[in-house]
A and B are shown apart, each in its own frame.
Chain A
Amino acid sequence: MGILRLSHVDITVPDLDLASAYYTGVMGLEITEQTADRTFFKCWDEEDHHSLAVRYDPRVGIDRFAFKVERADDLAEIERRVERYGFRVQRMSHGEEVGQGESIRFETPSGHEMELVHDVERVGSRIGKLNPNIVPAGLQGIAPPRMDHLLINAEEVGEATRFYMDVLGFRLTEQLLGGDGHQIGVWMERSHSPHDLAVVNGPNGALHHFAFWLDDWDHVRQAADILAYNAIQVDVGPTRHGVTRGNTIYFFDPMGTRNEVFTGGYRPDPDFPTITWTEDNIGRAVFYYEGEVNERFVTVHT
């Protein structure tokens, strides 16, 4: 019941051809559909229509992010709760959006457009459901099996967190507290992973990054090789997070949206006790090996 996981991130790019070349050739995603001004991508192990949509726009940015709910009637239930909280909900009917049926869209306190969707076109993974191989042959680029999470910015992290937890049912796995006790960053989950959605202090409506899941640390190393070969600008890593315990690399797509590849972490059930980081430990919390956060990581977002 309720939200299952991150379904798709919809971003804007000033060059659709460059975006397609990067997200297929370097990242190794598959194109599932193209329209005049949009391209839809999925990872090889995903069965739903898309996990990334790019739309042509002169500016780099984010249109919205979407989470998948388990049952059709979850949409009506969450619609009521969002409206009771004071936000207007827009109903999208079947045929209005590529690759999916009915959905709801609303603005969140962090100034983002969020979508919840149940009825997603199932295109299946490339290995099928009968005697499947473990990975398909002929993958190119980094080839993550799936999208994992996203990190957004908010001016009032505490207020945004209350909305995501109380109205949408997210569970808090970790938090970074400022010296005066307010939340600077929060990590929340629905999928029994360390995070599906994280919110860090910054301008409302901004995207910090979205992340793809990799198999393990060796896959992270291989991803670093592929990024270097293709002259992709690496932001940070390969390194490890204190928060989530994950292993990671951050880098920018050629248009400037930050991407991450991520693996590891723990498997929190709903009884997981929240971990708290204090501001004096922010360096280790974010980059456990370096012990400090670089200025670009804190200030650059799209």
Chain B
Amino acid sequence: MGILRLSHAELRVPDLELSTAYYTEVVGLIETAREDDRVFLKGWDEQQHHCVILRYAPTYGLETLGFKVQDAADLDELAGRVEAAGIPVKRFGAGELGPGSGETVRFTAGSGHVIDLVHAMEQVGNALPLHNPPPEPQGMVGMHPHRIDHIFLMCEDVDGITAFFVDVLGFRLTEQILADDGHQLVTFLERTHTAHDIAFVTGPNGAFHHVAFWVDDWNDLRRSADICAYHGVRIDAGPTRHGATRGWGLYFFDPAGNRNEVYTGGYWADPDREPITWTEAEMGRAVFYYEGVVDQSFLTVHS
């Protein structure tokens, strides 16, 4: 019941061909569909039609993000709750928002981000059979992450958006970084029993910090860093470890300037897990556990 997980992110890119080449050959996602101004991509282990949509636009940034809900009735239930919170919703039928798209409820959250709640996106299957499957396919290119993992967004009022995600959308808070005056600087929220499916950090409304893809382990982060270096992709931070989530991460930029991460590790968060709190003085260790400091570009550069 309710939201299952992050479904997809639609990113704006000014050069569709260049960005498609990057996301398929460097990151190693698989192209599943194409329109005049959009390309649809998925991770090899994902069953559904897409987890990333690239949209041609004269700028960069996040167009929409989508969460998958478990049952069709969840759309009505959540639409009612979002409307009761004073936010208008729009509804779209299956296929109306493009190839593979399922029935969708769309609204703009208080953080300025357009959010889709999706039921029954077309299932295309992963790259393995459902009978006697090997653990992974052969001949994959680039970093070939299994799947999309989480998204990190910016907004002015982190306390407000966090309360909305918890009270209205049913997310659970796993960690928070508190400013000295007690307000939330960063919050980590989950639905999938992982350390986070979405996180918010203080910054301009509507801004996009990064989208993260899941890889198996620390050795895959090293390999991903090799691939970045080989292709001349600019690494922003890492390979390193996060204090918050305990995950390992490597940050880098797509050709349009949208930040990507490959991520692994972390803990399992059942609903009975109490949130972890970081104080502002320990923010460096919370974000980059090995370095202990957050560089300015990581905090300020967004798209």
Q: Which residues of chain A have a CB within 8 Å of any CB of chain B?
A: 4-5, 45, 47, 68, 70, 129-134, 145-146, 191-193, 213, 215-218, 240, 242, 245, 264, 266-267, 269-271, 273-278, 281, 284-285, 288
Contact = CB atoms under 8 A, between A and B. Distances in A.
Contacts of A45: 267
Interface of B: 4-5, 45, 47, 68, 70, 130-136, 146, 192-194, 214, 216-219, 241, 243, 246, 264-265, 267-268, 270-279, 282, 285-286, 289
Contacts of A275: 130-131, 133
**Chain A interface mostly helix, strand, loop or mixed?**
loop
Contact of B218 (A145, A218, A242): A218
A284 B279 contact: no
A129 B286 contact: no
Contacts of A70: 270-272
A128 to B, nearest CB: 8
A134 B273 CA distance: 16
Given A132-B276, A216-B218, A218-B218, A267 B132 contact: no
A277 B270 contact: no
A277 B267 contact: no
Contacts of A276: 130-132
Nearest to B282: A131
Contacts of B219: 216-218
A271 B279 CA distance: 37
A72 to B, nearest CB: 12
Interface centre among B45, B264, B267 (most CB of A within 10 A): B267
18 contacts: A70-B271, A129-B276, A132-B243, A134-B246, A191-B268, A191-B270, A192-B192, A192-B193, A193-B268, A242-B132, A242-B134, A269-B5, A271-B4, A271-B68, A273-B47, A274-B130, A276-B132, A277-B132
A271 to B, nearest CB: 6
Given A131-B286, A192-B193, A270 B4 contact: yes
B150 to A, nearest CB: 12
A75 B202 CA distance: 41
**Chain B interface mostly helix, strand, loop or mixed?**
loop
B218 A288 contact: no
- Nearest first, the 9 A-B pairs at minimum CB distance are A245-B135, A216-B217, A192-B193, A131-B282, A281-B132, A269-B4, A4-B270, A129-B276, A134-B246
B201 to A, nearest CB: 18
A129 B275 contact: yes
Contacts of B70: 269-271
A193 B270 CA distance: 11
Interface centre among A134, A146, A266, A278 (most CB of B within 10 A): A134
A125 B274 CA distance: 11
B131 A278 contact: yes
A266 B133 contact: no
A256 B195 CA distance: 36
A217 B222 CA distance: 14
Interface centre among A130, A132, A218, A240 (most CB of B within 10 A): A132
B124 to A, nearest CB: 12
Given A131-B277, A218-B218, A266-B45, 12 more contacts: A4-B270, A68-B272, A129-B276, A146-B268, A193-B268, A242-B132, A242-B135, A245-B136, A264-B216, A267-B194, A271-B70, A275-B131
Contacts of B68: 269, 271
A129 B271 contact: no
B276 A216 contact: no
Contacts of A215: 265
A288 B271 contact: no
A145 B265 CA distance: 12
Contacts of A5: 268, 270
Contacts of B4: 269-271
Contacts of A130: 276-279
A267 B146 CA distance: 10
A269 B279 contact: no
A193 B194 CA distance: 10
